[in-house]
Structure 1
Amino acid sequence: MQLNEKELNILHILEQDARASIETISKMIEISEGEVQSMIEKLEAQQILVRYTSIIDWSKVAGHEGVTAMIDVKVTPKRGVGFNEVAQRIYRYKEVQSVYLMSGAYDLSVTVVGHSMNEVARFVSEKLSTIDSVISTTTHFQLKKYKHDGTIFNHDQEDKRIVVSP
């Protein structure tokens, strides 16, 4: 779908701040609030603007840290549906945050969130690896989040590196 410049501007603004008000967006791109509202409704109806989200640093909330794992999955695609069928089976699990078709050594990249490493391990061994098309998995546990969706975490900490100059 081809979008006009104002629609693209609205998308960029909302991508940076999903809480931006209609009034603010209207002033930023210099069109009426009614036009902004109707453009947003159009983008939502066409499922271009899919969801408004918040980014939370759970590491700062005691008892809610959780564990995130990135799992590389090698699968056998099925004739006629390719990778879509197995991807759909995987993304239906509540533990799964995202599924991407990838190029390279593995076919799918799956992001899983659990309360503990054991919970993620059980998901991989009891649910993910038992799917018929799944050949192998490699699990990578996230140790620290530095940047997510363009948001830098812990940027308020002072840079303690020594400045080196010639």
Structure 2
Amino acid sequence: MIGKFAQARRAALVLAFLVAAPLAAAQQGRVWTFSVDETKPGRAYLNYGLPESDDSFGGFHCERRSGFATLFIAETSERLKAGARVTALLAVGATQAKVAGKLLPNEEAGVPSFEGRLSVSDPIFEAMAAGETLVATIAPSKQSAPLTGAAEKLRKFITACAKP
């Protein structure tokens, strides 16, 4: 009896590894990217995801020189419903920002996305440029993104979005 239990447990561990390994590999390939759309009025984008794929944590975009950025989190939780107004909590170490927003339908993911707006002068952006990990909580969903390699791109984003 113990032998069959051990075999079942081993099979379950192998299955879990086979499912988790590609996800971990995909997350390891995620990077921060910065881009600017030069068409009028022009937008700047700061995203964290796997380049040239739909694998994205989300990110920020702004109309250039507007003073504000829109936060977009690609996936939240199946317990949340599209259309609801919610507040996201961004944290980098002890620095936090509350972002009021709404949940958007995301049929592809099967869970809603989040969109909210905040000032580019919010201390969370400077904390991101100096910090190690960004944590986004849209209860009950909690996700994190390492900030390795993001500092220069964050500063370019802030400059592009700041009011003149």
Q: TM-score, normalised by structure 1?
A: 0.28
Structure with more helix by fraction? 1
Give the number of the structure whose alpha-carbon radius of gyration is greater: 1
Which structure has greater strand proportion?
2
